[in-house]
Structure 1
Amino acid sequence: MLQFDIDAQRRHLIDGELRADLSMPCRRCLQPMPVAVSSQFRLAIVSDDARAADVPSDYEPVLVDNEQLNLLGAIEDELILSLPQVVYHDEADCAVSREQLSSGDASVDTQARPDNPFDVLKSLKGKL
């Protein structure tokens, strides 16, 4: 939902509310999972930095060229800003449990690694 307005100082304002149901990969098992995203925003359309400084603090200034706003791009930006940084299934619903991550893979990695990480460099130096 978007509402457009012009205030007493002739600034163009947009009050918006976004809601979207997205599918994002779980960071544990990499399987898609549903994520509900919502955002409320207040934008003030400005043509230069001087006008951006005069925007009320409850509005975010959006700098535009030739007084034209790419509305789809502005909405997309707000949606991206509202995405969660990390998404996990509930542990009971996830295909990979914490126990599998902490026990299974760690033993394989420690066996394949040399004790000293510089041993690999020493062997390369001898070949040159």
Structure 2
Amino acid sequence: MTKAEETPLLRALGIGICQCLALIPGTSRSGATIVGARFLGLSREAAAEYSFFLALPTLFAAFVYKFAKSWSHIQWAADGPVLLVGSLASFVSAWIVVALFIRFLQKHTLGVFGWYRIALGLLVLWLARE
């Protein structure tokens, strides 16, 4: 399957269940959804695209929660422009990174990210030894 929007309902549910694995501390949400999508037959590009689309409701809910919690502490005259510029910069940079990542996946595998996680995990275990 080459397009994220062509994902059948049962596969989409499976990928959503994979996202639940991110509730385990230390588990990458995008990693879990991309691996799950690949396991369920999506191409590298479609899996990454689907993973990023799947993040939007989660990130929006986290934003609304934090915003509602901070509402009374925000000084709108001073903080409003900073929040607006920061949000816009974050959105634009995320859009660029996602586009570059999708382009990267058209020519490369996800293997480098797997090896990175293994190496980082071994380093953390080595540093945490007594």
Q: Same fold (TM over 0.5)?
A: no
Alignment TM class, shorter chain as reference: under 0.3
Q: Which has the higher contact order (CA 8 A, sep 6+)?
A: 2
Which of the pair is proportionally richer in helix? 2
Bigger strand fraction: 1
TM-score, with length taken from structure 2: 0.22
